[in-house]
Amino acid sequence: MLSHGLAERGHEVTIAAPRGSTLALRAREAGLATFEEAAFRKPKHLLSALRDVRALADHLRRCPYELIDAHGSQDLWTTVLARRCAGTRAPLVFTRHNTKRVATHPANRWLYRQVDHLILASGSVRERYAPFLDRGVLRRDQVSVVHSAYRPDRFHPGVDGSRVRAELRAGPGTPLVGVLGRLVPDKGQDDFLRAAATVRRCHPQALFLLVGAGTAGPALRDLAARLGLGDAVRFLGFREDIPEITAALDVSVLPSVDCDASSAVLKEALACGVPAVTTDIGGAAEIVRHGDTGLIVPARDPDRLAAAILSLLADPAAARGMGGRGCREMAARFTPDRLTEETLATYRAVLARRQAAGRSPLF
C-alpha cells in the first residue's frame, strides 16, 4: 500500500524482497520495480546473510536512491551493512511493525546509531525504545508514529459474507465468532479456544473460526479436542477471501499476547461494520475505543475474553452500533492515503535534515 501510494505520487520505488515471495509477486503485479537478489534470512544463516549484504551493496552502488526504508530486523542488519559497503549516503529509515522487546546490547546500540529515523507502527512501541532514548542512541526527534492502513476497496460495509456462512452452514441465528491471523503463540488463539468453551455453554450452536496457518496449528487442534469443542471450531487454514470471512462474523476477536502494534485485523473488522474484541496488547487502544467501537480486555484472561464476546452476542443492536461507529472511524483514520502522506512527510523531514547538514539533495 505504501509503495503503491508513493508511486502514484510520482516517486520511483523499488521493493527489495526474496525471489519468489508473495510480496515480490504482488509488487510486480502492481507495476513496481523489485530487487530480488537477497533472501533476508535470519542472522544464524551466516553465508546467506553475507551473500545478501554483497548483493544489496552492489545494487545500492548501481542505483542512486535518495532514501532507504527497512521494515524488519533482518532487513535492517542487511541494509546497514550493505549501505556501509556500498558507501551510499542515502539516509536510512527503519519502520518497526511489532511490539517485541528490543535488546539494548552493544550490537543493537551500534545498529540503531546507523538509523537516521525510526517510524513506529503505534505509540505503544515507543516504550520498547526508552533505553535507546535514555542512552542517547536515538534522539526523540528521530522517532515518529505512523499507523498502518487497511484496504478500503476490499473491506467496507458492502462486503457480503453470506457465501461464507453458507459454506459453514451457519444459519441466521448461528453466532459466528472468529480469529484471523497466523497460528503462532503470539496471537493467543489458545486463550480464544478456552474462551470459546465458555461461550459455547451459553450458545451451544455457536461456531468459532480460526483462519490462518502456522506452527501452532497442531497444538491448537489438540487443545480444541481436549476442551470438547468438537466441530464447533473450524480451522479454515490460509484463505484469500478474508473480506468475505470478516463480513460473515458476528464478532471478530484479536486475542494477542504479544507482537501486534497496529493490527490490520481490527481495522478490517471495524471497516466491515463487525464489532471487535481485542486484548490490550500494543496499539489496540489506539484503534478501538473501549465500549464505543469495540471491547478491550486484559491479555491472557480467557474468562474476560469470553465475557466480552458474550456481551456482544447478547445485545446484537449494540454490537451493530459499535461496528457502525468503528466503520466510520476507520475510514477517517487508517486509509492508504493517510499512511502514504504521513510517511512521505517523515521522509521529507529526514531528507531536509540531511540537506541542512549539506549531505543530500531534498526529496
d(CA 176, CA 168) in angstroms, rounded, equals 10
Angle between helices 302-314 and 189-202 (to 10 degrees): 50
Residues 69 and 145 in one domain: yes
**pLDDT classification of 362: cutoffs 50, 70, 90:** very low
pLDDT of residue 68: 98
Per the structure, the complete domain to which residue 117 belongs is given by: 2-149+336-356
Residue 362 domain flag: no
pLDDT at 360 over 60: no
Distance of CA 287 to the CA centre of its chain: 12
Whether residues 322 and 212 fall in one domain:
yes
Give the strands of the sheet with 251-254, arranged side by side: 233-237, 207-211, 176-180, 251-254, 276-279, 294-297
The answer to whether residues 37 and 99 belong to one domain is yes
Residue of 54, 55, 53 lying closest to 74 (CA atoms): 53
User: Is 17 a member of any domain?
Assistant: yes
pLDDT tens sequence across 117-146? 999 999 999 999 999 999 999 999 999 999
> Do 182 and 214 touch, CB atoms closer than 8 A?
yes
Report d(CA 236, CA 296) in Å as an integer. Answer: 25
pLDDT of residue 297: 98
Is the residue at 156 inside a domain?
Answer: no
Does residue 247 carry a pLDDT above 90? yes
Instruction: List the grid coordinates of 146.
Output: 505512523
Instruction: Please indicate, yes or no, whether residues 194 and 183 belong to a single structural domain of this protein.
Output: yes
Which stretch of 10-14, 20-24, 304-308, 355-359 has the lowest confidence by average pLDDT?
355-359
The one-letter amino acid code at 269 reads A
Question: Are 68 and 167 in a shared domain?
Answer: no
Residues 186 and 286 in one domain: yes
Report if residue 172 sits inside a domain.
Answer: yes
% of residues, the chain, pLDDT over 70: 99
Q: The domain spanning residue 144 has which CATH number?
A: 3.40.50.2000
* Same domain, residue pair 325 and 208: yes
Select from 149, 143, 174, 151 the least CA-distant residue to 161: 174
Shared-domain flag, residues 143 and 172: no
The answer to the question of residue 157 being in a domain is no
**What pLDDT is stored for residue 137 in this prediction?**
97
Are residue 187 and residue 239 in the same domain, yes or no? yes
Distance of CA 294 to the CA centre of its chain: 19
User: In this structure, is residue 350 part of a structural domain?
Assistant: yes
pLDDT score at 45: 81
pLDDT for residue 100 is more than 70 = yes
Domain assignment present for 361: no
* pLDDT tier at 359, thresholds 50, 70, 90: low
Please report whether residue 214 resides in a domain: yes
C-alpha 118: how far from chain center: 17
Per-residue confidence (pLDDT) for residue 363, from 0 to 100: 41
Residue 41 has pLDDT above 80, yes or no: yes
More confident residue, 42 or 170: 170
- pLDDT score for 121: 96
Q: Which residue has the higher pLDDT, 196 or 259?
A: 196
Cβ neighbourhood burial of 109 (10 Å; 0-12, 13-18, 19+):
middle
Residues 69, 122 within the same domain: yes
3-state secondary structure the chain: CHHHHHHHCCCCCEEECCCCCHHHHHHHHCCCEEECCCCCCCCCCHHHHHHHHHHHHHHHHHCCCCCEEECCHHHHHHHHHHHHHHCCCCCEEEEECECCCCCCCHHHHHHHHCCCEEEECCHHHHHHHHHHHHCCCCCHHHEEECCCCCCCCCCCCCCCCHHHHHHCCCCCCCCEEEEECCCCHHHCHHHHHHHHHHHHHHCCCCEEEEECCCCCHHHHHHHHHHCCCHHHEEEEECCCCHHHHHHHCCEEEECCCCCECCCHHHHHHHHCCCCEEEECCCCHHHHCCECCCEEEECCCCHHHHHHHHHHHHHCHHHHHHHHHHHHHHHHHHCCHHHHHHHHHHHHHHHHHHHHHCCCCCCC
Q: Summarize the confidence of residues 333-341 as an average pLDDT.
A: 97
Say yes or no: 184 and 81 in one domain: no
Rounded CA-CA distance 218/225 in Å is 11
**Mean of the per-residue pLDDT values of the chain:** 95
Mean pLDDT confidence for 208-219? 98
pTM, full prediction: 0.92
Q: Residue 347 pLDDT > 90, yes or no?
A: yes
Rounded Cα distance between 300 and 189, Å, is: 10
By percentage, how much of the chain surpasses pLDDT 90? 93
Q: pLDDT (tens digit, 9 = 90+) per residue, 296-328?
A: 999 999 999 999 999 999 999 999 999 999 999
Q: Specify the number of domains making up the chain.
A: 2
**Based on the domain organization, do 205 and 282 belong to the same domain?**
yes
Nearest to 29 by CA among 40, 39, 15, 10: 15
Chain segment 163-201, per-residue pLDDT in tens: 999 999 999 899 999 999 999 999 999 999 999 999 999
Quick one: pLDDT at residue 361?
47
